Amino acid sequence: MSNTEYTPENAAAAASEGAAEAASECKPASRSGSRPSRRTRQPKTPKPVVIPLAPVREGAEMPEEYLRSFTTEEIGVMPLTAFVGKIIFVECDRQLHQAMKVLLDEELLGFDTETRPIFRKGAIPPPALLQLCGHKNVYIFQLAKLQDKAVLAELLAAKHIIKTGVSVRDDLKGLKEHFEFIEHGFVDLGDVAKKMNMFTHGLRNLTANLMGLRISKGAQCSNWAREALSTKQIVYAATDAWISRELYLKFVDLGIL
């Protein structure tokens, strides 16, 4: 497992690098004359195929050591971990197309979304962020700023890329309020845990159980729709996508997936 040595300095540097890079790339180019605007790609409509979100191997058995529950106190004393690699912000269509050139070549992506919390009864807003973690970097998409979401639909429908996370169905339902797509290749780690009769299903508890590590949930209820996210929010969002990918790989190592 990589990127487990967490320090605030490392996390802040990764977050600042991604934010600065995003800001510079989204500035309009200062060129004389005008050029035709790029035509927005129309989303393809793949045929619907039912794909299980927990494709557990036949005959797989979970080792006894992972078949237990964890108390809040037990998790609280575990080492804190966070993603400390490069975080790439995607907040304009130019960056979106650059990101797709990389992400469409990935085989496994950690997947998560963040939604602005509502503290009263009513309709839940669509996600403000989509986070995807590849083998090297985490990409954070600020969805309200993106116009050409057809390329995101292409990625989420790609059968050759596994997208993995927890409570995937809820995330997908929220994303469909932004744009239409038919999902393929998704694996819900919570479903995998339930099929293996584990007592831990959520991202934080699975991290404690399978990795012996703790991820922070301090920014969970913050305002994800802010124009400029704080370093704490950036690291939180990146970590959830990254640890989802790491947990999938752990299930693979254990012979479950």
pLDDT at 246 over 50: yes
Q: Please give the average per-residue pLDDT across 80-100, as a whole number.
A: 96
Cβ(171)–Cβ(113) below 8 Å: yes
Q: Please give the average per-residue pLDDT across 37-58, as a whole number.
A: 56
pLDDT at 35 over 70: no
pLDDT of residue 41: 52
pLDDT of residue 208: 97
| Structure token digits, residue 162 | 């596994």
Residue with tokens 């959830």: 240
Please give the DSSP secondary-structure letter assigned to residue 160: T
Sheet holding 186-188, edge to edge: 87-90, 138-142, 129-133, 108-114, 162-165, 186-188
Can you tell me the distance from the alpha carbon of 206 to that of 30, in angstroms, rounded to the nearest whole number? Answer: 49
The pTM of this model reads 0.83
pLDDT of residue 54: 67
Can you tell me the distance from the alpha carbon of 230 to that of 41, in angstroms, rounded to the nearest whole number? Answer: 32
| Structure token digits, residue 253 | 């190592």
pLDDT at 213 over 90: yes
Q: Please give the average per-residue pLDDT across 115-125, as a whole number.
A: 73
Does the domain at residues 8-25+63-117+126-253 carry the CATH identifier 3.40.50.410? Answer: no
Residue predicted with more confidence, 173 or 18: 173
**120 φ, ψ (degrees, to nearest 5):** -140, 160
At 224, is the pLDDT very low, low, confident or very high (cuts 50, 70, 90)? confident
pLDDT of residue 31: 46
Max alpha carbon distance in the chain (Å)? Answer: 68
Q: Please give the average per-residue pLDDT across 153-166, as a whole number.
A: 96
pLDDT of residue 47: 44
Domain layout of the chain by residue ranges? 8-25+63-117+126-253
Any idea which of 71-85, 149-163, 172-186, 213-227 has the lowest mean pLDDT? 213-227
Pairing of strands 87-90, 138-142: parallel
**Number of residues that this document lists for the chain:** 257
Any idea which of 147-161, 163-177, 216-230 has the lowest mean pLDDT? 216-230
Q: Residue 137: which region, alpha, beta or left (left: phi > 0; alpha: psi -120 to 50)?
A: beta
Any idea which of 1-5, 127-131, 141-145, 231-235 has the lowest mean pLDDT? 1-5
Question: Among 174, 175, 171, 177, which residue's Cα sits nearest to residue 190?
Answer: 171
